Structure 1
């Protein structure tokens, strides 16, 4: 008997045996309905349906160790370790609402106070539900340790208000299926968990930082925390040496092939660094139990060792073979055909095509290692894609001829070719309703065939964008108030860098200074050559210097900058120590207003 449900012996499938180990000592107590779609449907591949059925919510207990996994309530699963006088939590879920549901199950386990919360990395599904469990005041006072890598906050900032955060949020709507309903023609599961829909997002800033390694004891429980760059550059894993338990974070990315590249967009995830982290930080440990942040726990030293080995081998195989063929001069389309997992790895239940995928990983390795240029000089300065589409359509005999060929391809089941052909018509004329509908149908057909949740969601969301049935009100809001409140004022002001309009700024040089009163920050802002330089001191030639609370800074960034500032000055909340509103009006005139307009992707 491997594990029990509600104390009664349970029949265990071959898959469960692989997961839990021959002498697992793991019990599972169900505690709710599966929020993934689990019914059979012609529009859902059978393996995807089976994957959904592994996501029933409940609590796994590693018996005799005081370790639990609260599973199936969110994309990530909450790890709980009960110590002498308190609890350690690893990876709160993506929102407060799911966290509160997890808290109900947590309090069935123990009423001890929470002594530590650990974020395994910066991704939202591993921290945004934290305020279901603790408050910022508990962290500020040191009552609760909040543990993360030293770069955690800088990654949060650069991937939300700064950098490419806005476009990544839009693309996340597509890849995570946030604009789709759960069902046979929409989201099926989250790939790594039953679903991923965020309501109230929160953040408590860390007060205990990990560099390469940190050892500490919390509530009588010894912990060794290692930096393990992999799925995220700030990933940390936790080893409990006295318990023989490894919390593998997302270094082992659940029950799926790892997402060596996220199609929503991400910086290059170096596969060599990823499998090296497994080799260096995970495989040497005598782990009797492994608890990933996604997916169910695994028990048995031999079983854990095999999964770790298979996982690192799969990553190494894809990377090494991609480089092998790159060195022969092969291009991405050819590489995808050449590089597939060998049967011994492809058959592993930990390496299914449910979230990460080999084909899009291979393409990203090419770009990550060589860049975008494919060594064909005709691609150095190609025609604009819309101009190319115009010429191809003319070459094929015009709009109606192309539409007819694409329609015939769709009727023959060649949906990829149909979509590629009709894309030329949509690029030329976004108002060509007939072409949009044909492309939408082709994308749906492709989406219904793949078990990969990210691919499916992208296909189906793009189809709805094309046919006009999409609901943008469901979009992810990356600038959640509670998360913004946790960010320094300097980071908010620095986000203006990505909104400067060089045509308006022209050749102007303009310097300003801001004192953020409640966070005791000094920020210099210098416009020059169409860029904004941000410093930590007031420039000597500042045209205005403003003293203002962070709340007003937030309003200036996300609302009407000058209107918010004028109201704050009139009300006494802000004041100028140099210059005034006229100078501020000139400065903020160099920047585009914050826009909540949704960016379309499918008709580009």
Structure 2
């Protein structure tokens, strides 16, 4: 890892110049809305700023961290436009979001509890938390990548004294909490028992499985949610709600040596007593809070941060249970919150004092519970999934609490998620049960509305009146009907941009602004695809690999194919039957067919090298490390139907580049990298 100093930020951002030649300034309607929000929101409550700055020890002399591959892994300096003046007003940023973005500019080493607990903030999307044990450091969550975690630990050792890492705790199964493990520990030390790695039960399964089956689609959608193509600017990316952004370096994974399996489980590590509270089904399928009873310190993982989180994550994920989330916070409140004197988490900043801790815990408990209960209350009165986001509102008492604001989530998409969890996506209107695809229905709308010019005129009129959602409704139809109508795409982009400026949630803001960018400019060429991490491959079960091969199977190419394969991996004793029938690839573990068409024998460790793209089946056959017995044509048939997915498909019509933005020249059996689940 190399680190470069950077003491300049984007001059265009400082001067409020738009990064896109087609970009527009905030309209008078957007400015009016932002001004009204500045008057109605509780900006007089500055406790979060006091808490975010408390305990500061030191910041490093650099703002950029360079990845081993040579790219910039992390660049805190790119957001310095937010600090050019504490009183700066950006009308292109929702005032509440601007406040959150400034709070997330914390950068450096902080003391949470004297001589006991510290945090490095602003080195990645998540915080690294450092616990002083009797002989060394216990690290809670180790960031997304090796380079940022290594830099964080170096800062700790520089200012607090050199100590060995004796344990790492993964609070949950999202990559920004474990991916940097190789920057802070050597796997050999884990294997020989010098370093413990502790995680909640189910961690390894969910760290990988949650983001494989739809990983390419999730990666592409992340371009919108995380604004990956947006420059850091008042008109672009300003924050990611629970941190500035996600680091882009080398992701690793070392399997835990111990799992916390009980609902409440006590463990003493290097002289530090801890009570772990398993909280499955909250922010992650496998997650746990931790209480330090001797210090009255409560670690809230990612269950209680400076925001209301995603019940549904826009990049794609299973819908979460808002009620269960609320119940787990309530459980923590009554188990630990009655006496805790400091509460800290894997994102955001700590809270000190028991009254303050109980206040924040109750606010977040009530917000998740209200979301669940009020949405279902409305659903039972007939409000549908296509209406609830226009109906649901927090009660006024919660609107005036910063900890109840949905930066990572949003009331709009979280409320729809609750209905989707209980009732599904259908609103019970048969017309929406089997709708036409947008590209099929849009031409009919255009014809009945009198053609493109009338729609453009009405769309421009609505835009000029500040009726952006109404303009979006008709212009979106036009763009689907005429995907190469650049004038229509530009006008829709103008509409999306103003909506994006007005949104409190960066996920929603980024989605509108990213769509505007792609409508104006198309999806850019030169975007590189991520290569699969060997650590990730090792963590994938063989069954998961075979299941994803089934998803990758092109059923049209497989038409008429029928074969049975026995797969043996002697080094771990696994066996599978893989069948192709009815254009569908299936597998079953623990069985073998009596008369297979083909038998493949390969050690699991060698299969991993194929999955990681480090070798091919042909290489291993020549090296006598893989054996094919039976009809070799079956193997070639299987290879021929496996598609390689690339995350460069068009989301908005007419934005796909003429030439593929991403080139994937891979062996058919190479496993694509799972999606990055940073931020939940």
TM over 0.5: yes
Report deviation, 1:447. Answer: 1.2
Runs of 4+ in 1 over 4 A off after TM superposition: 13-16, 18-21, 32-35, 472-476, 517-520, 549-552, 554-560
Please give the alpha-carbon distance, in whole angstroms, between the structure 2 residues aligned to 1:86 and 1:500. 50
**Greater displacement, 499-508 / 396-405:** 499-508
Report deviation, 1:486. Answer: 3.6
Q: 3-state DSSP class of the match of 1:502?
A: coil
Report deviation, 1:15. Answer: 4.9
The equivalent position to 1:240 in structure 2, one of 286, 289, 292, is 292
Aligned: 1:139 with 2:193: no
Query: Pairwise mapping of residues 196-345 of structure 1 onto structure 2 (< 5 A)?
Result: 196-211=246-261, 212-229=263-280, 230-252=282-304, 254-285=305-336, 286-345=339-398
Q: C-alpha offsets along residues 391-416 of structure 1, whole Å, 9 cap, x if unaligned?
A: 11110011222222212222332222
| RMSD over equivalenced CA pairs, Å | 2.6
Please give the alpha-carbon distance, in whole angstroms, between the structure 1 residues aligned to 2:588 and 2:596. 13
1:133 and 1:476, CA in 2 relative to 1: closer, same or farther beyond 3 A? farther
Query: Pairwise mapping of residues 489-504 of structure 1 onto structure 2 (< 5 A)?
Result: 489-504=542-557
Q: 3-state DSSP class of the match of 1:350?
A: helix
Q: C-alpha offsets along residues 358-380 of structure 1, whole Å, 9 cap, x if unaligned?
A: 12111111111111121222222
Q: 3-state DSSP class of the match of 1:166?
A: helix
2:101 is matched with: 52
1:341 and 1:471, CA in 2 relative to 1: closer, same or farther beyond 3 A? same
Q: 3-state DSSP class of the match of 1:250?
A: coil
**Greater displacement, 507-516 / 54-63:** 507-516
Aligned: 1:536 with 2:590: yes
Contact 1:178 1:475 in 2 (8 A): no
Aligned: 1:361 with 2:414: yes
Please give the alpha-carbon distance, in whole angstroms, between the structure 2 residues aligned to 1:524 and 1:499. 18
**Greater displacement, 391-400 / 506-515:** 506-515
Contact 1:129 1:202 in 2 (8 A): yes
1:546 is matched with: 600
Please give the alpha-carbon distance, in whole angstroms, between the structure 1 residues aligned to 2:200 and 2:521. 43
User: Gaps (5+ residues) in structure 2?
Assistant: 1-42, 64-75, 655-680
Aligned: 1:176 with 2:176: no
Q: 3-state DSSP class of the match of 2:109?
A: strand
The equivalent position to 1:564 in structure 2, one of 616, 638, 642, is 616
The equivalent position to 1:429 in structure 2, one of 464, 475, 482, is 482
1:406 and 1:559, CA in 2 relative to 1: closer, same or farther beyond 3 A? farther
1:47 and 1:112, CA in 2 relative to 1: closer, same or farther beyond 3 A? same
Q: C-alpha offsets along residues 76-133 of structure 1, whole Å, 9 cap, x if unaligned?
A: 1111111101221111111222112211222132422112111111111111111111
User: Gaps (5+ residues) in structure 1?
Assistant: 1-12
1:70 is matched with: 120
1:390 and 1:527, CA in 2 relative to 1: closer, same or farther beyond 3 A? same
Aligned: 1:43 with 2:96: no
Q: How many residues align?
A: 584
Aligned: 1:89 with 2:143: no
Report deviation, 1:472. Answer: 5.9
Q: 3-state DSSP class of the match of 2:557?
A: helix
1:6 is matched with: none
Please give the alpha-carbon distance, in whole angstroms, between the structure 2 residues aligned to 1:19 and 1:276. 28
**Greater displacement, 510-519 / 65-74:** 510-519
The equivalent position to 1:445 in structure 2, one of 498, 505, 511, is 498
Aligned: 1:375 with 2:425: no
Contact 2:537 2:611 in 1 (8 A): no
Contact 1:440 1:462 in 2 (8 A): yes
1:549 and 1:404, CA in 2 relative to 1: closer, same or farther beyond 3 A? farther
1:517 and 1:141, CA in 2 relative to 1: closer, same or farther beyond 3 A? farther
Contact 1:566 1:581 in 2 (8 A): no
Please give the alpha-carbon distance, in whole angstroms, between the structure 2 residues aligned to 1:551 and 1:450. 48
Aligned: 1:417 with 2:456: no
Contact 1:322 1:362 in 2 (8 A): yes
2:579 is matched with: 526
